[in-house]
Structure 1
Amino acid sequence: MNKKQSRPQDGENNIEVWEDLVHIKDLVLSIIICTVITLGAYLIAPNEPPKPLIYGLIGAVVGFVISSIIIKPKRTLRFAEEREE
């Protein structure tokens, strides 16, 4: 069974990242969300040695979750049967 991805035919406002097409607006929005939340969590952390790192990592995970909720995938997968001859 083959999985085939259908990609947008027009290709406008898309760039290729790790062999996948990404809409530029969505990419920039997710980068901004993750950066702001990670930096914010790092800055509000107490100034004790491991806490800024932990807060920053938690902020990055929260930013990723928020980005994945806001930005939905736009690809569709179709399964095609292989014919043996």
Structure 2
Amino acid sequence: MSNKKTSTNVEIWADLVNIKDLLLSIAICLVFTLGAYFIAPNKAPLPLFFGLGGAVIGFILTSCLIKPKRIVKEESDGDHQ
């Protein structure tokens, strides 16, 4: 019996990630980073700072939009009293 959810996951750094969520978060961060970079004034360090700010905003937005789907189960050994 195959589970449909496991077929859309990919293993990255020993963790399973949903491909749809990964692509959505990459797209959001890319849009905010490049958007902030291109609206920055054309003075030496400003495009870098605007791009970094856009990346941070994109990261915060994706952290709020995409919730973790991990289920953590706590098991006791029975040795501790």
Q: Does 1:12 align with 2:7?
A: yes
1:65 aligned to 2:60? yes
Name the counterpart of 1:76. Answer: 71
Deviations 1:8-63 (A, max 9, x none): x8212000111111111000000000000000000000111111000000100100
TM-score (norm 1): 0.83
Which has more helix, going by share of residues? Answer: 2
Please report the TM-score for the alignment, with normalisation by the length of structure 2.
Answer: 0.87
Aligned length: 76
Gaps of 5+ in 2: none
Kindly state the Cα deviation for residue 83 of structure 1 after the two structures are TM-superposed: 3.9
Structure 1 vs Structure 2 CA RMSD: 1.3
Q: Higher strand proportion, which one? A: 1
